[in-house]
Amino acid sequence: MSFSSDVKDELNSVCGQARHCQLAELASIVHFAGRIGKSSAGFDIPVENEYASRKCFTLLQKTFNINSVDINVFQALKIAVGEDGSVKNDGPVDGRLLLKDCCRRAYLRGAFLVSGSLSDPSKGYHLEFVCRNDEQAGQLRSVMSDFGLESHSVLRKNHVIVYIKEGEAIVDLLNIMGAHTSLMNLENTRILKEISNTINRRVNCEAANIAKTISAASKQSEDIEYIRDHYGFDSLPDRLREMAEVRLENPEASLKELGELLDPPVGKSGVNHRLRQLSELAESLRQG
């Protein structure tokens, strides 16, 4: 199963206890589905995925104790339906159904069940809702922003896509909708991904440092060999001669290690200073 269907599967079992929440979620499902179908049994809500249609059934049972939509449902959800079954006010859900926080959470659940999807978090963060029109997208974005979630929207074919691209905001939305197991799975993936990014960064950084050290050391050795061949160690003051010998004998040692090999030992900056003097001498010898 995809991560998206895991979330829907979980949302299917999340249901507000209060009737107001149940109505809000049902209204959300109907609006995002955009149609009421006429069947021999009466009306139904033709949603394309099994999760949303199972949820519809549950909600109708809980709120009206019926299996298909009737006129009472339209009234309760404040929905007008045309001759052809299309929802006339198919934009936003009636604001009176979304006054409470709990009902706005239920609205988001319904919206996600019908029209939401979420990319596999190991590949990237992208959660989107396919909205039927601008009004619907506007209401969805405003409900999300009530919860402090920033979203974006873009036109795709005849639909308005409302999306969130930030891992943290997606986690927040899952929490708001009540998808706590999915939230934990996403967080785990997020943490693993972050750890592996950090490790990669450190490895790269260390490799760069090592390369830098090696190239500095080989330049120092080159300079010191030039001094040995064109000037002679005997002509150097003791402290520089000792430094030159220790460097040549320990081509892979760090500045700190070199300092410890000197007698008496010298700190990192002292070693650095002496090596710089040697390099400057080599440079002036080269220039004659």
Q: Which residues bind Zn ion (CB under 5 A)?
A: 18, 20-21, 100, 102-103
CB of 197 to Zn ion, least distance (A): 40
Q: Which residues contact 17 (CB under 8 A, 6 or more apart)?
A: none
Cα 98 to Cα 183: distance, rounded to the nearest angstrom: 24
Residue 27 or 281 with smaller CB distance to Zn ion: 27
Q: Would you give the end-to-end CA distance of the chain in angstroms?
A: 75
Residue 105 or 247 with smaller CB distance to Zn ion: 105
Residue 104 or 247 with smaller CB distance to Zn ion: 104
Residue 22 or 53 with smaller CB distance to Zn ion: 22
Of 28, 16, 18, 15, the residue nearest 94 (C-alpha) = 28
Q: Which residues contact 270 (CB under 8 A, 6 or more apart)?
A: 259
Cα 132 to Cα 138: distance, rounded to the nearest angstrom: 11
Residue 102 or 261 with smaller CB distance to Zn ion: 102
Q: How many Å separate Cα 189 from the centre of its chain?
A: 10
For residue 145, give both structure tokens.
């922003």
Residue 103 or 227 with smaller CB distance to Zn ion: 103
CB of 25 to Zn ion, least distance (A): 9
The three-class DSSP label of residue 69 is: strand
Cα 62 to Cα 288: distance, rounded to the nearest angstrom: 97
Residue 99 or 214 with smaller CB distance to Zn ion: 99
Tokens 């290690």, located at residue:
257
Assess contact for 88 and 133: CB atoms under 8 A.
Answer: no
**Cβ atoms < 10 Å from Cβ of 174:** 24
CB of 174 to Zn ion, least distance (A): 19
CB of 21 to Zn ion, least distance (A): 3
CB of 30 to Zn ion, least distance (A): 17
CB of 12 to Zn ion, least distance (A): 18
Burial 118-139 (b: 16+ CB within 10 A, else e): bbebeeebebbbbbbeeebbbb
CB of 14 to Zn ion, least distance (A): 13
